[in-house]
Amino acid sequence: MRSDPALAHLAGVIVHDEVVPARAPWLCPVAKGQTLRIVDLEGNQAVDFLIYAAADDAERYSAQDTVSAQGNLFLREGTVLLSNEGNPMMTITGSAVDYHDTIGGACSCESNTLRYGHHTKAQHACVDNFLEANLRQGRGKRDIVSNINFFMNVPVEEDGTLGIVDGISAPGLTVDLRAEMDVIVVVSNCPQINNPCNGFSPTPVRMIITA
Partner 1 sequence: MSQTLADPKAARDHARAQGGTRVEAMPILPPVADDLPPGVAADDLVWEETLPGGGYASRRLARGTRLRLIDTKGDACAALNIFNAEMPTERLNVADTVKVQWNGYLGAGKLLLSDMGRVLMSILDDDAGTHDAFCGTSNAASNTRKYGEGRNSGDYPNGRDRLILGAAKHGLTRRDVHPCINLFKGARIEADGAITPQVGPFAPGRTVILRAEMDVIVVIANCPHVLDPRAGWHVTPLRATAWRGPITPADDPVRLAAPEATRAFLNVEDYFRR
The answer to whether 103 and 65 have CB atoms below 8 angstroms apart is no
How far apart are CB 64 and partner 1 at their closest, in Å?
3
Q: Is 137 in the site for partner 1 (CB under 8 A)?
A: no
Of 15 and 156, the one with the shorter C-beta distance to partner 1 is 156
Phi, psi of 65 (to 5 degrees): -65, -40
Residue 207 to residues 31, 55, 160, 164, Cα–Cα distance (Å):
15, 23, 34, 24
**Near partner 1 in 11-70, by CB under 8 A:** 58, 62-65, 67-69
Which residues fall within 8 angstroms of residue 77, CB to CB, at 6 or more apart? Answer: 92, 93, 94, 95
Rg (CA), the chain: 16
Of 20 and 125, the one with the shorter C-beta distance to partner 1 is 125
How far apart are CB 188 and partner 1 at their closest, in Å?
14
Q: Is 201 in the site for partner 1 (CB under 8 A)?
A: no
Determine the distance from the C-alpha atom of residue 136 to the mean position of all C-alpha atoms in its chain, rounded to a whole number. 19
**Near partner 1 in 105-124, by CB under 8 A:** 105-106, 108-115, 117-118
Q: Is 163 in the site for partner 1 (CB under 8 A)?
A: yes
Of 23 and 100, the one with the shorter C-beta distance to partner 1 is 100
Of 91 and 111, the one with the shorter C-beta distance to partner 1 is 111
Q: Is 156 in the site for partner 1 (CB under 8 A)?
A: yes
Residue 161 to residues 75, 110, 147, 156, 200, Cα–Cα distance (Å):
19, 22, 20, 6, 22
* Residues near partner 1 (CB under 8 A): 58, 62-65, 67-69, 71-74, 84-87, 99, 103-106, 108-115, 117-118, 127, 140-147, 154-156, 158-164
